Amino acid sequence: MSESLPKPIRIFKDTVEAVVHTASSWVDTCAERAVRDGLGWVPEGEVQTAPAHRPNPTTAGHIMKDGRVTPPGRQTVPTSVPVSGAASKFADTEEIGWLESGRRELPYRRDRQWAVPQMWWEMAFGGIGAATYTVSSAARNPTGMAVGWALAAGGKGILLLADLGRPERFPRVFVRPDTSWIARGSWAFGAFAAGGAVSLLPFLPQPVRTGATALANTGAVVLAVYDGLFLNHAKAVQSWLPREVPALFAANAVQAGAALSGALATTQPRWMRCLGLASGAASGTLQALYIRKLGEGNTASRLSARELVEGLQRDRFVVAGGMIGTVVPAVLTICAPNSKRARAVAGAAAAVGLEHLRRAVLQAGIHAPVIDPPRTRPIGEGRTN
């Protein structure tokens, strides 16, 4: 289909896709290379199956859990590493087998339609940019406003355009805002981009800039919660349905916005520190509530909880999203409120945590069948509680 696109649009789409895929797989690729090339460690069984060739994650394709082979350099998850299917707090061995076996007749499968790099980068840029702009405009900090606007309007805008693909689709995304979250988000994004741009033009009269800032802030509030509400309406994926998802995304965005805004300001006002701490506490609490809700849900929900807490997404959801993205900024805010260096580290940590959290929630999405496959083992076998 992309061959029929005009050449400049095709080049733009391909470039954006290559950049986001590289950025997404870079951390995992570096980590695997450090272990394989640095330590010389390989997982059990790999040497026997391929004695003459040690696969390099940067040049060789990975075999995914669903049997697909990713092209070189396009891995998003190092899924060639076997996931222990034995003990889990959330699912029994049979349920884990339904997901991990890769057999087509077992219809539990990880989402691959929305859980793509463009989507989580879009969400990350939109969330942190909109929140940074709003917090900075409240603190009357033009640097923060400019950076927030550039992140949301520039970063998210480029990815949205690349995602849209064909130019003729552009007017259609604004249609039916009464029923579609895509249309609502597009209007909010338009208001934010236009209002934010006008608010940053220093030669305009102050009343015009104040009005534009108000318009941009209205759009920014919608942008900060929009991603979670949008996921909430994807009914096929159980783990995106809880009400905690939009609340978690919003709290996390506000916390990252407060941290980044504080890092970009000459001094961080006390109210901004309090906002960061309160939203960080809310974000951490909502993460815990979200996992509890998933753990009490149906098989697909519990398999998603297992992915987030014990499985492939643990490093992103718990370590990067929870510890680095929430705890580190809070500790730095409390311990070193006046240090510019500490505020810069807090802002960077919150930004990294925000991206990883959205990515983890997206990648832990599991499609469920209408009816579970027949059981061959007793219910609960292999669960640790």
Partner 1 sequence: MSNEVREVDGETYKKAVSAARLGVILGVVGALSVAVRIVAKAGTALFGQESGQCERGTCNE
Binding site for partner 1 (CB under 8 A): 27-28, 30-32, 34-35, 37-47, 54, 78, 81-82, 84, 139-144, 146-147, 260, 263-267, 314-315, 319-320, 324, 328, 340-341, 344-345, 347-349, 351-352, 356
Mode of pairing for the β-strands spanning 366-367 and 109-110: antiparallel
Identity of the residue, 84 or 113, whose beta carbon is nearer to partner 1 in the bound complex = 84
With CA atoms as reference, report the closest residue to 241 among 308, 293, 185.
Answer: 293
Specify whether the CB–CB gap between 308 and 360 falls below 8 A. Answer: yes
Q: For residues 41 and 105, which CB has a smaller minimum distance to partner 1 in the complex? A: 41
Distance CA 133, CA 140 (A): 10
Residues 6 or more apart whose Cβ sits within 8 Å of residue 177: 183, 184, 186, 187
- What CA–CA distances, in Å, run from 239 to 27, 208, 306? 25, 43, 11
Nearer to partner 1, 40 or 205 (CB): 40
Q: Which helix (H) or strand (E) holds 104?
A: none
Tokens for 379? 């219910």
Taking CA atoms, 196 is separated from 151, 155, 222, in Å, by: 11, 14, 14
CB-based contacts of 138: which residues, under 8 Å, 6+ apart? none
Q: Classify residue 5 by burial, with Cβ atoms within 10 Å: 0-12, 13-18, 19+.
A: middle
Q: Are the beta carbons of 317 and 354 closer than 8 angstroms?
A: no
Min dist CB 249 to partner 1, Å, is 20
**In the complex, least distance from residue 42 CB atom to partner 1, rounded to whole angstroms:** 5
Select 14 or 37, whichever has its Cβ closest to partner 1: 37
Using the minimum distance from each CB to partner 1, give the nearer residue, 40 or 207. Answer: 40
Tell the residue number behind the tokens 């942008």, with chain if given: 223
Shortest CB 144 distance to partner 1, Å? 8
Least distance to partner 1, CB of residue 260, Å = 7
Smallest distance from partner 1 to CB 324, Å: 6
The least distance separating partner 1 from the CB of residue 35, rounded to whole angstroms, comes to: 5
**Which amino acid, 11?**
I
Residue 77 is given by DSSP the state S
Q: How far is the CB of 271 from partner 1 (least distance, A)?
A: 13
In the complex, the smallest distance separating the C-beta of residue 44 from partner 1, rounded to whole angstroms, is 5
Backbone angles phi, psi at 369, to 5 degrees: -75, 165
Rg of the chain taking only CA atoms, in angstroms: 22
Closer by beta carbon to partner 1, 152 or else 245: 152
Beta carbon nearer to partner 1, 144 or 157:
144
Minimum separation from the CB atom of position 111 to partner 1 (A): 22
**Contact indicator for 227, 249 with CB cutoff of 8 Å:** yes
Which tokens go with 129?
Answer: 């940019």
235 vs 270, beta carbon nearer partner 1: 270
Distance CA 334, CA 343 (A): 11
Whose Cβ is closer to partner 1: residue 184's or residue 273's? 273
Smallest distance, partner 1 to C-beta of residue 342, A: 9
The smaller minimum CB distance to partner 1, of residues 59 and 179, is found at: 59
